[in-house]
Structure 1
Amino acid sequence: MARLALAVLVLVPLLLLAAARDERGQLVRAVEGPPARHRHAYAAMMYMGTPRDYEFYVAVRVMMRSLTGVRADADRVLIASADVPRDWVRAMAEEDGMRVVIVENLRNPYENNLGGINRRFKLTLNKLYAWTLVDYERVVMIDSDNIFLQNTDELFQCGQFCAVFINPCYFHTGLFVLQPSMDVFKGMLHDLEIGRENSDGADQGFLVGCYPDLLDKPMFHPPENGTKLNGTYRLPLGYQMDASYYYLKLHWHVPCGPNSVITFPSAPWFKPWYWWSWPILPLGLSWHKQRWDDLGYAAEMPVILMEVLMYIVIITITRLARPGMTKLCYNRRPEKLSSLVQWLIKMSMIVAMVAAYSIPFFVIPRTVHPFMGWSIYLFGALALSVLVINVFLLPPLDVLTTWFAIVGALIVMAFPWYHGGVVRVLAIFGYAFCSSPFLWASLVRMMDSLQTMLERDPFFPRLGEPAQETEFSKLF
């Protein structure tokens, strides 16, 4: 019996990992995780090849776990491309309880029409694999940049295809309902082969072409007796509330339909999981609260602790060693090089100032909590600013004016008693207008201080004249 059990443990994963192909050889997939336990499923998609693969991995896990918080009575399914790292697949299957369907990437015949930033949508046609989930009667396909505010299981009563129009002319594929069907899937593969018209070269343009008359269909209202509808329907806007709606009044009020799901279809740098999204975009805290409750930040903590230690070392060494640019500029003999060297030193000072406030931004793990991220950023900017102060012998208060301005901007943006988004924007612009003279004055004083230091005779003696020894120069 032990040998039989061992054989089963070995053979079952091999059979699951074997290719299950349709007659065209287009479909290759394997399934990991628990078996189907419900008639319905929430499904998401993950593929590799973008600069933000890890961020979307974390986003998928948080979103899927959030469905437990709203008591969703359905399976969680992830459609993952075959190149998703095995440890990610294992974590999502074993720790998050997802059924992970591993698929080959569908070839995108429109990829030559994708330009610039839109090339990140090259593999979004993998979303069509949702129609192969024939173990389920209905599937709600969702993007990873969604936040669920309440249970949406009534969507499983919708018809063969249902989607939300957040654009007046085109429905949004960040969330849609479908009835799985291999016949529909094969028909879509055929449409890809013949090159059906696609307005954007990605999944949304393709599906809009497949369901061109959805705008004329009736609005979905779930039957009270729990029966399933047939046909295609438009979903109320409350199932895909664009985050930009929130910023008008700083609260949710979408009258047409339940306020159930928030979506973030904006530029990728303003997704809710990035630490800098708050307080610029206040909704980031909602996402991070969900992550804090479900996953925590253990993966990022070693990097954060290393950064804090590095900044402490920078401040300590800077204060003890006191490196000065005057040491590097001492006894420059050729007078004709003096103006060029001074110009280079001034440019170096400006570059150093920019680096002091930009380097900490890019080295912080992107998906840490906003409070943690901004604290590390401000500490890092302070440490590097102290280094700039000591290297160029600049007035400390003038160098740190920018640091105080950033702190003030965070306070203004996070002020909790704004009556609406317009008032908040006006307050931010007012703060920027009032603080800009102080920033300019600090820059002028820093340049004057640096110029005064560089014009001292001990550091730039005239041609043919020996450097004058002073008490100041003997120190070097």
Structure 2
Amino acid sequence: MGWPPAAERRLAAAAAAVAILCLFLASASAAAAAAQEHRQRALAVEPSEGQAGRRHHRHAYAAMMYMGTPRDYEFYVAVRVMMRSLATVGADADRVVIASSDVPRDWVRAMEEDGMRVVVVENLKNPYEGNLGGMNRRFKLTLNKLYAWSLVDYERVIMIDSDNIFLQNTDELFQCGQFCAVFINPCYFHTGLFVLQPSMDVFKGMLHDLEIGRDNSDGADQGFLVGCFPDLLDKPLFHPPENGTKLHGTYRLPLGYQMDASYYYLKLHWHVPCGPNSVITFPSAPWFKPWYWWSWPILPLGLSWHKQRWNDLGYAAEIPAVLIEVLMYIAIITITRLARPQMTKLCYYRRPEKQSVLVQGLIKLAASVAMVAAYTIPFFVIPCTVHPLMGWSLYLFGVLAFSSAVINAFLLPPLAVLTAWIGMVGMLFVMAFPWYHDGIQRILVVVAYAFCSAPFLWSSLVRVMDSLQTMLERDPFFPRLGEQAQETEFSKLY
């Protein structure tokens, strides 16, 4: 038994609306991919500023870069910004990048133009790869950090991860001993920043340990190095000698050299009274690094990172993708505004027979999927490392554009559909409010705002469902060309 013609028309209209959103998603993804390729080329050939003259130092800051993760480009940008920030704080040392051989040549050339020394290496085979599992497979090649011990041209090397923000100069760390690291975990030191004395003997010994399969608690660089220096917790705390001499042995570094961002936010600009406040690291959730636009205002330090990028690299590489998205959203809004007057002229009359529950459910499901898609599609097509203010503006504009298409396709009340959008704007203002005394107060205010907003969101959802039900109980009456529309007591103008 077939469905009534009116039901088929509604299903076709709902399917068309969802298909339009999917088509926009596909075209936006293709445009984002093209823009991503353009960003890589554009950012890779940016000229360096004031870094043309390089001279060899006795010490070096070193970072690593390898390929094979979905976030290679983001970490490439992060390494460049972090290395340039070292010059901003007056670091008197070489800046070295240990790059795997598959890093694009354009990226290598750009880092060399920034004044970095790029050491190309072959990836070390990770014998613990089976222990990583799931999302942690991104740590497969972090054992490339061991190449830092092969940099024997330097007396001391500070090995750093790309997710560090330097608040001040840390050159005094070059006075530390053969190995020094920070304990941000009560039992295990953190390898986001550590000091070492390069030695080919130590490097070859570590390669031998890899071959025999030394115990490794996490399958990555941190578990391996903890096994190499198991007694570091019992070593004395590092205090730089005032006469500038170098220490020997192993030392624990004060917490201020690797402040976990979660501790920092707890007190908002947390200050460690018993040591330096030099470096902040982001070892937690991988999708909340400071360079991602959505991390602000959840992580306020994102603006500090982007300020550094603005001063050093700029955002010229992201402009093409941003323009494509803006034009796409303007086109969606324009088409919606042109189509809306025709839809509002439709006359509706009440059907004498009930519509099947299955058809009503399918149409409601299509409308729900379309509304969810309107809030999710813009998130995935925005360049990841764009400035937060630009990223959030693009996201809100995109949600507004897609929501207008959904409102028009299903004849929904605009205010009810956009209630979540309005609540999101308010949440951004609440989270970005700069005068909280500490992180706890900030969290409590955000929770209170969410609690007060929940009734409005629920009311808007109920109103949307009621509007859909009203539409399902009525059939559109399409008068033929030149034919006068029937006027009945059941007619209603939308």
TM over 0.5, yes or no?
A: yes
Aligned to 1:151, the other structure's residue is in SS state coil
**Alignment of structure 1 residues 364-383 onto 2, 5 Å:** 364-383=382-401
CA distance in 2, matches of 1:470, 1:112: 73
CA positional deviation for 1:335: 6.7
Letter in 1 for 2:235: K
Residue number in structure 1 paired with 2:312: 294
CA positional deviation for 1:251: 1.4
Does structure 2 retain, via aligned residues, the 8 Å contact 1:134–1:180?
yes
Residue number in structure 2 paired with 1:27: none
Letter in 1 for 2:164: N
CA positional deviation for 1:336: 8.3
Does structure 1 retain, via aligned residues, the 8 Å contact 2:260–2:282?
yes
Residue number in structure 2 paired with 1:86: 105
Alignment pair present for 1:39 and 2:58: yes
Residue number in structure 2 paired with 1:242: 260
Letter in 2 for 1:266: S
Does structure 2 retain, via aligned residues, the 8 Å contact 1:458–1:473?
no
Q: Which of 183, 189, 193 is the aligned partner of 2:207? A: 189
Structure 1 pair 474–397 and aligned structure 2 pair: CA distance change class (3 A): closer
CA distance in 2, matches of 1:166, 1:144: 17
Does structure 2 retain, via aligned residues, the 8 Å contact 1:45–1:80?
yes
CA distance in 2, matches of 1:267, 1:61: 21
Q: How many residues were matched structurally? A: 436
Q: Which of 145, 148, 159 is the aligned partner of 2:177? A: 159
Alignment pair present for 1:406 and 2:424: yes
Alignment pair present for 1:72 and 2:91: yes
CA distance in 1, matches of 2:145, 2:55: 19
CA distance in 2, matches of 1:341, 1:256: 68
Alignment pair present for 1:144 and 2:158: no
Aligned to 1:197, the other structure's residue is in SS state coil
Structure 1 pair 127–459 and aligned structure 2 pair: CA distance change class (3 A): farther
**Alignment of structure 1 residues 103-118 onto 2, 5 Å:** 103-118=121-136
Aligned to 1:280, the other structure's residue is in SS state coil
Q: Kindly provide the CA deviation profile for residues 111-130 of structure 1, in whole angstroms up to 9, marking residues without a partner as x.
A: 01111111110100000000
**Alignment of structure 1 residues 12-411 onto 2, 5 Å:** 37-94=56-113, 96-322=114-340, 338-411=356-429
Does structure 1 retain, via aligned residues, the 8 Å contact 2:182–2:257?
yes
Letter in 1 for 2:172: E
CA positional deviation for 1:375: 0.5
Letter in 2 for 1:198: N
Letter in 2 for 1:369: H
Letter in 1 for 2:59: H
CA positional deviation for 1:334: 13
Structure 1 pair 458–316 and aligned structure 2 pair: CA distance change class (3 A): closer
**Alignment of structure 1 residues 421-436 onto 2, 5 Å:** 421-436=439-454
The alignment yields a C-alpha RMSD, in angstroms, of: 2.6
CA positional deviation for 1:287: 0.5
Does structure 1 retain, via aligned residues, the 8 Å contact 2:179–2:249?
yes
CA distance in 2, matches of 1:434, 1:138: 55
Deviation >4 Å, runs of 4+: 33-36, 323-328, 333-337, 457-460, 468-476
Letter in 1 for 2:129: E
CA positional deviation for 1:341: 2.0
Structure 1 pair 91–334 and aligned structure 2 pair: CA distance change class (3 A): farther
Q: Kindly provide the CA deviation profile for residues 373-399 of structure 1, in whole angstroms up to 9, marking residues without a partner as x.
A: 000111111111111111111111111
Q: Kindly provide the CA deviation profile for residues 219-278 of structure 1, in whole angstroms up to 9, marking residues without a partner as x.
A: 111111111111111101000000011121111211231000000001110000000111
* Length-normalised TM-score, structure 2: 0.84
Letter in 1 for 2:389: F
Letter in 2 for 1:106: L
CA distance in 1, matches of 2:433, 2:164: 25
CA positional deviation for 1:57: 0.3
Structure 1 pair 450–34 and aligned structure 2 pair: CA distance change class (3 A): same
CA distance in 2, matches of 1:103, 1:279: 38
Aligned to 2:138, the other structure's residue is in SS state helix
Gaps of 5+ in 2: 1-51, 479-484
Letter in 2 for 1:176: F
CA distance in 2, matches of 1:34, 1:41: 16
Gaps of 5+ in 1: 1-32, 461-467
Aligned to 2:374, the other structure's residue is in SS state helix
CA positional deviation for 1:107: 0.3
Q: Which has the higher contact order (CA 8 A, sep 6+)?
A: 2
CA distance in 2, matches of 1:327, 1:339: 27
CA distance in 2, matches of 1:357, 1:183: 56
CA positional deviation for 1:340: 2.0
Does structure 2 retain, via aligned residues, the 8 Å contact 1:34–1:93?
no
CA distance in 1, matches of 2:66, 2:390: 29
Aligned to 2:62, the other structure's residue is in SS state strand
Residue number in structure 1 paired with 2:40: none
Does structure 2 retain, via aligned residues, the 8 Å contact 1:323–1:390?
no
Does structure 1 retain, via aligned residues, the 8 Å contact 2:149–2:197?
yes
CA distance in 1, matches of 2:73, 2:178: 33
Letter in 2 for 1:363: V
CA distance in 1, matches of 2:72, 2:274: 35
CA distance in 1, matches of 2:456, 2:85: 45
Structure 1 pair 317–81 and aligned structure 2 pair: CA distance change class (3 A): same
Q: Kindly provide the CA deviation profile for residues 274-312 of structure 1, in whole angstroms up to 9, marking residues without a partner as x.
A: 001111111111111110110011111100011001100
CA positional deviation for 1:338: 3.5
Letter in 1 for 2:319: M
Structure 1 pair 324–385 and aligned structure 2 pair: CA distance change class (3 A): farther
* Length-normalised TM-score, structure 1: 0.87
Structure 1 pair 235–340 and aligned structure 2 pair: CA distance change class (3 A): same
CA positional deviation for 1:458: 4.7
Does structure 2 retain, via aligned residues, the 8 Å contact 1:237–1:256?
no
Does structure 1 retain, via aligned residues, the 8 Å contact 2:344–2:493?
no
Structure 1 pair 129–323 and aligned structure 2 pair: CA distance change class (3 A): farther
